[in-house]
Amino acid sequence: MWEQKIKCVKCKHFLKIGEYDTSTRCENCGQEYNTIDDELYHATACSATSVYYEVNDSWQVKRIHFHNQPIDLLDETVQNSRMLVSEEKDPHILTKIVKKYYDALKKRLQSFLTLGNIPNLSAAEKNSIDIDTPTYSILHLIDILKKAFPGQLKKIQEICGKHETTIKRIKWIRDKSEHPLMKLWSIPGKIYEDRSDQPNSKNPPKEYLNYNFIIKTNRAVIDVCLLLLKLDPVTRPKDQYDVLEGFRITT
Q: Do 37 and 77 belong to one domain?
A: no
Say if residue 95 is in the same domain as residue 33: no
Structural Rg of the chain based on CA atoms: 22
Which pLDDT does position 70 carry in this prediction? 81
Q: For 123-178, what is each residue's pLDDT tens digit? A: 999 989 988 776 789 999 999 999 999 999 999 999 999 999 999 999 999 998 87
More confident residue, 4 or 114: 114
Same domain? 119 vs 194 = yes
Q: How many domains does the chain have?
A: 2
For residue 204, pLDDT over 80 is answered with yes
Inform me whether the pLDDT recorded for 200 exceeds 70: yes
Do the domain assignments include residue 13? Answer: yes
How much is the pLDDT for 219? Answer: 98
179 pLDDT above the threshold of 70? no
The predicted-structure confidence for 75-96, as pLDDT tens digits, reads as follows 999 999 999 999 999 999 999 9
| pLDDT tops 50 at residue 1 | no
pLDDT tens column, 10-59: 999 999 888 778 899 999 999 999 998 876 655 455 555 566 778 888 88
Tell me, what's the pLDDT at 3? 45
Q: Which of the four pLDDT bands, split at 50, 70 and 90, describes residue 122?
A: very high
DSSP alpha helix (H) spans, the chain: 69-82, 91-113, 123-130, 138-148, 153-162, 164-176, 211-231, 238-246
- Domain of 14, in residue numbers: 1-67
pTM, two decimals, is: 0.79
Domain boundary among the residues 12, 39, 67 is at 67
Q: Decide if 251 is inside a domain.
A: no
What is the model's pLDDT at position 234? 84
SS3 at position 74 = helix
Q: How far apart are the first and last CA of the chain?
A: 39
**Residue 79 has what pLDDT?**
96
Is it the case that residue 118 has pLDDT exceeding 90?
Answer: yes
Cβ atoms of 146 and 164 within 8 Å: the answer is: no
- Indicate whether 47 and 158 sit together in one domain: no
Contact 230, 155 (CB under 8 A): yes
Are both 135 and 152 inside the same structural domain?
Answer: yes
Quick one: pLDDT at residue 180? 57
In this prediction, residues 98-115 reach a mean pLDDT of: 94
Tell me, yes or no, whether 20 and 133 share the same domain: no
Under a CB-based contact definition with an 8 Å cutoff, are residues 215 and 206 in contact? no
Q: What mean pLDDT is predicted for residues 112-129?
A: 92
54 pairs with which residues across the strands? 62
pLDDT at 10: 92
Give the chain's length: 251
- Say yes or no: 201 and 162 in one domain: yes
